[in-house]
Structure formats: C-alpha cells, structure tokens
Amino acid sequence: MRRAVFPLLAILAFGAAIFLYANWPAGNPLPPATRADRILIDKSEHSLSLFSGGRSLRVYRISLGTGGIAPKTREGDRLTPDGRYKIASRNPDSAYHLSLRISYPDASDVARANAAGISPGSDIMIHGLRNGLGWFGRLHRLVDWTAGCIAVTNPEIEEIWRVVPDGTPVEIRQ
C-alpha cells in the first residue's frame, strides 16, 4: 500500500504544477483607460502585439490554424490569412470565450478566390479558449489548433476585448 501512495502523490503534484503553470497570472493588466490603435499578428513568431501611438502595449503568445503559417487561400484550408484588415465586430456569446471578428475576406481576397473558382472562407476571429476549456490556459499554445483563427488564453482575450475598439486595424503577416 505504501508503495502505491508515493507514485500517486507524485502524479498529483505534477498535475497541480502543470495546472498552476497553465493558469498563473501573466502580469499586471493594462490600465483601465488604455486603448489600442493597431494590432500586429506575426504568424511565424506566434505573437499578437497591441500598439497605441506607435508604442507597444503588450505582446501575447498565440495559437493559429492547424494548416500552418501559409496564407489562407480557400474555405476549409485551416490557415490564418495574411493581410491588412480591421476588427469588424465582437461576439460575447461565442462558442469560444469572447471573439473579435476580423474583416476577412476583403475585396481582394474575394476577387482572388472568385478567379480560382473557390470560396475564400470567413469567420476569422481573435478568441479565447472553447467555452468550458479555459482551464487549459497557456497549454493551448503547445500546438496550433484553430480552424484559421487566432487564439489566446481567456484572461488575455478579456484584456484584448477591453482595450481594442471595433475598427482597429489588424495586420497579419508571416
């Protein structure tokens, strides 16, 4: 019986350590009056940066679409688009913890897809984790898992949601 207790305690301690790492607060929140005026998403760096007046406010680690970092070309390719867009709207009742809709596809994306006879896709969002799975926290960053969206932790999307107004320019690049 004693021999079984130590491995069980070790497993529980390891699990608790992983949970604490995944959900440990990231640092001081941005001040309440903060407003971002630009978002830069660097897919190769797996980062989302907020800017105000040319000054970096915060950098977040992100997960992307499972298709890799190539630019989105069609619906269902599970890629995150490249280009210049804006925050078009927000959804507080998303299947993922809060979501900010990116204005993809724009006119050039639609024209390119129409010329190829395909659908460009849509519904590209910056969002938190799937509702009910917020406890994954930072662990979600271990793999790219979205259908083409940009994912951050739930506390991070709450902060981004608060400081990013609709219409904010979004640049997504490789």
Q: What are the pLDDT digits (tens) for 29-57?
A: 999 999 999 999 999 999 999 999 999 99
DSSP annotation of 141:
G
Distances (CA, A) of 164 to 42, 64, 70, 83: 18, 20, 26, 19
Distances (CA, A) of 170 to 94, 104, 116, 135: 20, 10, 26, 28
**In which band, very low, low, confident or very high, does the pLDDT at 19 lie, cut at 50, 70 and 90?**
low
Convert the pLDDT of each residue in 99-125 to its tens digit: 999 999 999 999 999 999 999 999 999
| Domains parsed from the chain with CATH numbers | 29-173 (2.40.440.10)
Strand order in the sheet with 150-151: 55-61, 47-52, 38-42, 169-173, 83-91, 99-102, 125-127, 150-151
pTM for this structure? Answer: 0.88
**In which band, very low, low, confident or very high, does the pLDDT at 143 lie, cut at 50, 70 and 90?**
very high
**In which band, very low, low, confident or very high, does the pLDDT at 136 lie, cut at 50, 70 and 90?**
confident
pLDDT at residue number 44: 97
pLDDT at residue number 16: 64
3-state secondary structure of 16: helix
Query: According to DSSP H, which parts of 119-174 are helical?
Result: 154-163
